Chains A and B, each alone.
Chain A
Amino acid sequence: MSIIQAQNIKKTYNADTIPVHALNAINLNVEEGEFTAIVGPSGCGKTTLLNILGGLDDATQGSVEIDGTTITDMRDSDLIDFRLNNIGFVFQSYNLIPVLTTKENVEFVMLLQKQGDKARQSRAMELLKEMGIADKADKRPSELSGGQQQRVAVARALASKPKFVLADEPTANLDSQSTKDLLDIMAKLNKEEGITFVFSTHDQRVIDRARRIVYLDDGKIINDVTVSK
């Protein structure tokens, strides 16, 4: 079953002056439980595609359906609510809230979902355990390594029980060991809990672990490969 259906996505910047076509007629379906990497050189449109799939950016043309709901014509306020309940985000530079502890950062999205105190706290601790950083629950992000911060970011992305997680270059700022640890965790979550992950990356270590690789160049999908492992 397709959880993401993107049809004929076009994105043009500076349409009124010198148009730059970032995405050109992209069609992409992502099935539930996939572990997909969108790869390509810098400036090929990976992040733009991820932003449009996540409802963070508008497509100039085309439509995106998430689990049967078209998000491309949603109002801003509805889209914020939709993102909260359906999509998990992991950003390249972690983007944790520096004034909150690790546990509070994970709890934050559940708070936005108006979940009760106890439910929030137990799920946050459960996720931190899963990420192997339960002992860092009371630390602030500035007290954690890059790898640990990114694991908190993954825990935060999963906290709201989203339909899928979009990760924009999640390993770009990590060393080899941290990258391996993070990929192990995400692969485990994908395999054992069936969580759908879509990455944008040009990191070979991530590409090596992906089970589907979508090659993007110059705003177009040039190859779409499913890897049997």
Chain B
Amino acid sequence: MLLKISWRNVWRNKSRSLIVISSIAVGVWALVAGTGFMNGFMVSYISDSITYNTSNIQVHHTKFSADKDINIFISNASEKTAHLGQIPGVTGATKRVIVNGMIASAKKASGVEIRGIDVENEQQVTHLDSALIDGAYFEGIKRNPVLIGSKLAEELNVKIRSKIVLTFSDSEGEMISGAFRVVGIIKVSAVNLNEFTAIVRDSDIQPLLGIGNNYHEIAAVTETQIDEQQIISEYESTYKEDLVQDWKEIAPELAYASDMFANMLYILMGVILTALIFGIVNTMLMAVLERIKELGMLMAVGMVKSKVFLMILVETIFLGMVGTPIGLLLGYLNVRYYQDRGVDLTEYSEGLEAFGYSSQLFPYLESSVYITVSIGVFITTIIAAAYPAYKAISLKPVEALHKI
């Protein structure tokens, strides 16, 4: 009957209850939708970086990463690439030649990382062909084709079939240059790839470097929900001599961004729920103050204070229980609607792309967020109910009964 009284008490003043229920629903909606949009930014930022740039796992010689000495190779790179590609959960693996150098057009020169790729295998890993905005994926130019990012192309003022010169040190430490032609221009949100990378065929760069059929890097992509550490352990159980890193180690800034986002969710939740607390406290305090006589009667006829406290608490929880699902549903529908269609932020593309964000936002939420928000609102209602409930049990029955 306590539940019945509490539930009916909620609807005693319908308009007041509906206002507070609406504020809970709007707060939850804002929280879910806001989180979905923020998450969309973060997921596309991280997934674009993984897809086009870092991959999930990279293998190097333990000494290569320090100064990227082109004479430090991965031994038996082909065999290791094939092995890594066969580990369950890995969807693609490829090997690369990595060298730092200069890229120069007739107009300008710029520092770049030159990647010599295995054209076919690379497609399974970085899907660069899907990021093409001009030209083709190593087709149409037979001799020394090069793929560059749109930002770099813009900076060098080059287009498809434009001639560019790559300059780097060979294995003997001699400066060497090679003439290449732009075969394709890609556009991705990863700043590194868009602005500071030139992609060439391994078979073109290896002879220029004089490193034979050797490679500096193996990159692999995995299924979405796979724990990279399991794959790394599996690889290391066979090949112990290499440095194997997941994307968080390769690009710690992505891991920081991911952690920062998780913390921002809690900050956003804290701000919205704190605002809700004040609204709920106000409403419940009014509900208590206008029922002083009745509360006095309840205690007079034998209702213990803990039950009076519980009654106010349950009333508040009911308000939350009505408002929260409405807010969750609105938030879900909002996120779902834009999840497929995307939000066009082209107007702000320049600023967003400078930070590595896509100008097309696809909101996304994991189901755990709905649970976290629900728990957050539940805790909020309990906190908000505490003061009005305390006020209720602080009443002396005799004084409350004679309150006019």
Contact = CB atoms under 8 A, between A and B. Distances in A.
Contact of A83 (B4, B12, B301): B301
B1 A95 contact: no
A81 B304 contact: yes
Contacts of B293: 93, 95
B401 A80 contact: no
A89 interface: yes
Contact of B301 (A57, A93, A156): A156
Contacts of B397: 56
Interface stretch (A14-22, A96-104, A186-194, A197-205): A96-104
Nearest to B296: A95
Contacts of A95: 293-294, 297, 401
Interface stretch (A105-113, A127-135, A170-178): A105-113
Contacts of A97: 5, 294, 297-298
B1 A99 contact: no
A85 interface: yes
Contacts of B307: 112
Contacts of A179: none
Contact of A51 (B301, B302, B305, B398): B398
A160 interface: yes
Contacts of B299: 80
B305 A57 contact: no
A63 to B, nearest CB: 18
A56 B1 contact: no
Contacts of B12: 98-99
A215 interface: no
Interface in B266-313: 293-294, 297-305, 307
Interface string B1-30: 100110011001000000000000000000
A183 interface: no
A57 B398 contact: yes
B304 A77 contact: yes
B304 A111 contact: no
A91 B297 contact: yes
A110 to B, nearest CB: 10
Contacts of A51: 398
A35 B4 CA distance: 36
B400 to A, nearest CB: 10
Contacts of A111: 1
Interface in A63-97: 76-77, 80-81, 83-85, 89, 91, 93, 95, 97
A89 B398 contact: no
A111 B4 CA distance: 12
Given A56-B397, A100-B8, A89 B1 contact: no
A160 B302 CA distance: 10
Interface string A134-151: 000000000000000000
A77 B302 CA distance: 9
Contacts of A54: 300
A80 B299 CA distance: 7
A112 B302 contact: yes
A84 B302 CA distance: 4
Interface string B335-354: 00000000000000000000
11 contacts: A77-B305, A81-B302, A81-B304, A95-B294, A97-B294, A97-B297, A98-B294, A99-B5, A100-B1, A113-B302, A160-B302
Given A93-B293, A113-B302, 16 more contacts: A56-B401, A80-B304, A83-B302, A84-B301, A84-B302, A95-B293, A97-B5, A99-B9, A99-B12, A100-B4, A100-B5, A109-B302, A112-B302, A112-B303, A112-B304, A156-B301
Q: List the 7 closest A-B pairs by CB distance, nearest first.
A: A84-B302, A99-B8, A95-B297, A57-B398, A56-B398, A112-B302, A51-B398
